[in-house]
Structure 1
Amino acid sequence: MAELPDLTVYARILSRRFVGKTLKKLDVKVAKKLNVTVDELQDAIVGKKLTDVSRYGKTLHFHFSGDTVLQIHLMLRGELALLSKENPDPKYGILGFTFTGGEGFAVTDLLRQATPTLHPESANAPDALEIKLAELGAVLSKSKKMVKEVLMDQKKMRGIGNSYADEILWHARISPFSIANAIPEKAVKKLLSSMGTVLNKAIEEIAEENGDELHGELRDVMKVHGAKIEKSPGGAVIKSEKIGGRTSYYTDEQELYN
């Protein structure tokens, strides 16, 4: 699943390539997830200029002239693909966007779960890269759930998924099984610092790898999250266990608070 770093890079690439261009054609391949009719969506954005592409939590927001916003949530397996003469109609297409000049991109998803939403509602939860120490402390202090579950709860903070929750918690040396409200203030400060460090470093590395292309999610940046990674950079054996139905990776280097 694309998370905050991947989506940040995607938004930058799409902005460089398409902002300022007018949407000439919208090809709707799968309409079941739309919150409006196909005609209403096409009427809202076809013929409009793309003014901005931004990441919003774990979604992408496409801003068109006339204050029109289309949100795309790639869900578990959704991807983005640039359109070309060699690839004019990508497999498993959900939406296809063609701009003036003939260039464009597609949203694809084998599972057909990628979700377009016209004029999405604003979220109340802070973004993971914008949350302040007091906010993070308040979120954790109010929860008796395991800290990893809290980090992944998009109603608490936006942007972090399964992979980067593991990476952040390892960097902060906090066990994913720690009870959120039992984490001391010093460790909360470290957690906030680790969130910024891990996410921003991943953005840099993914941006360098992608250039101006959409190569998909990059997982080579992971230090502990991954079935093929046997030891952490510190040499500790990586263990795995399910948390909230998702496989979590961790080491004994991480302290348990309960």
Structure 2
Amino acid sequence: MPELPELTALAAWLDGQLAGATVASLQFPTAFALKNKDVSPDIVAGRTLIRVVRRGKFLVFDTDPDGGGPALVANFGKSGWVRVSGKLPEVKDAPEAVSAAKPAAGPIMARIGLVKDGTEHGVDLMDYGRWKGLAVHIVHDPEVVPGIAELGPEALDPEFTLEDFARLLTSKQRIKDIIRDQKKIAGIGNGYSDEILHAAKLSPLAPGASLDTGSVERLYTAMRQVLSDAAGELTGLAPDKLKAAKKASMAVHGRNGEDCPVCGDTIQELAYVGTSFQYCPGCQTGGQVLAR
């Protein structure tokens, strides 16, 4: 699932390329992605795209300079991403495709056509998963989208202090679950939680309340450093380069069976709550291989 660093880079790239463009068309090949069926995509057509920004794991395409909408808010789910082309998508005369409650047959979930300074742009919101999780809302205020309304503080917000962070770590909940819970901290998912915990040299399964003051500070510092470094490395890359760059930058996530770049121990994997995570026993668990 796309997380804070690559979504920050994606929003910045799209904003740089497309801010000021006129929205020529907005299409949904099926109704699956559009979650608020009472709003017509036509209300966006003809408007100017003012900005593209990130909120948590959401991307916001805003067409109102005063923040009053309408805005297209997209969450990519587990397997979604963006494809950008240099031409407007073909407009299909099939309004029933939007209203029909049918599942998505292909990866294209929504298509945005834009024109800027006479140049055409096509932005496709894609979902490559078998089970489609990409969701789009058309709203006048992005804060009304449930996933945004419930977000905790942004992980890199300067006002999110060490003291604020420490208050989240007072339960028996495992620290991996705490830092990727969007209601507690916005923007971190499975991948970067692995990287943060590796950098902090902490077991993913350690309860939050078990951490001493030094461990809490180390985890907070690792969170800020890992995310800011990753966002910096990815910024400026086009959407089709971001996924590969993210994968190449990972120290432990997705690297089961490889050597840890820090201590040389073998990176391990553990199946966990519908997914899996990777960690280094030498760096994080005192050499212990966690039991399934």
Note whether the superposition's TM-score is higher than 0.5.
Answer: yes
Code of the residue aligned with 1:56 in structure 2: it is: R
The aligned counterpart of 1:171 is 199
Q: Does structure 1 retain, via aligned residues, the 8 Å contact 2:33–2:110?
A: no
How far residue 228 of structure 1 moved from its aligned partner, in angstroms, is 5.1
Structure 2: stretches of 5+ with no match in the other structure: 91-105, 287-292
For the pair 1:17 / 2:11, whether they are aligned, the reply is: no
| Separation of aligned partners in 2, 1:17 and 1:172 | 36
| Separation of aligned partners in 1, 2:199 and 2:175 | 14
Q: Give 1:250's match in structure 2, choosing from 279, 288, 291.
A: 279
Distance 1:117 1:229, change over 3 A: farther
Alignment of 1:64-79 (within 5 A): 64-65=63-64, 66-79=68-81
| Separation of aligned partners in 1, 2:251 and 2:187 | 19
Aligned partner of residue 9 in structure 1, secondary structure: helix
Aligned partner of residue 103 in structure 1, secondary structure: strand
Distance 1:222 1:229, change over 3 A: farther
Code of the residue aligned with 1:193 in structure 2: it is: T
The aligned counterpart of 1:149 is 177
For the pair 1:115 / 2:135, whether they are aligned, the reply is: yes
The aligned counterpart of 2:114 is 99
Distance 1:224 1:124, change over 3 A: closer
RMSD: 2.1
| Separation of aligned partners in 1, 2:186 and 2:257 | 27
Provide the TM-score with structure 2 as the length reference. Answer: 0.79
Q: Deviations over 1:16-35 (max 9, x none)?
A: 11111110111211222323
For the pair 1:126 / 2:139, whether they are aligned, the reply is: no
How far residue 88 of structure 1 moved from its aligned partner, in angstroms, is 5.1
| Separation of aligned partners in 1, 2:10 and 2:89 | 20
How far residue 158 of structure 1 moved from its aligned partner, in angstroms, is 1.0
Q: Does structure 2 retain, via aligned residues, the 8 Å contact 1:49–1:64?
A: yes
Aligned partner of residue 214 in structure 1, secondary structure: helix
The aligned counterpart of 2:62 is 63
Q: Deviations over 1:97-152 (max 9, x none)?
A: 111232121101133321001234233411111232122111111x2111101111
Q: Does structure 1 retain, via aligned residues, the 8 Å contact 2:18–2:49?
A: yes
Aligned residues: 250
Q: Does structure 1 retain, via aligned residues, the 8 Å contact 2:151–2:182?
A: no
Which has the higher mean CA deviation after the structures are superposed, 190-199 or 238-247?
Answer: 238-247
Q: Does structure 1 retain, via aligned residues, the 8 Å contact 2:89–2:111?
A: no
Provide the TM-score with structure 1 as the length reference. Answer: 0.89
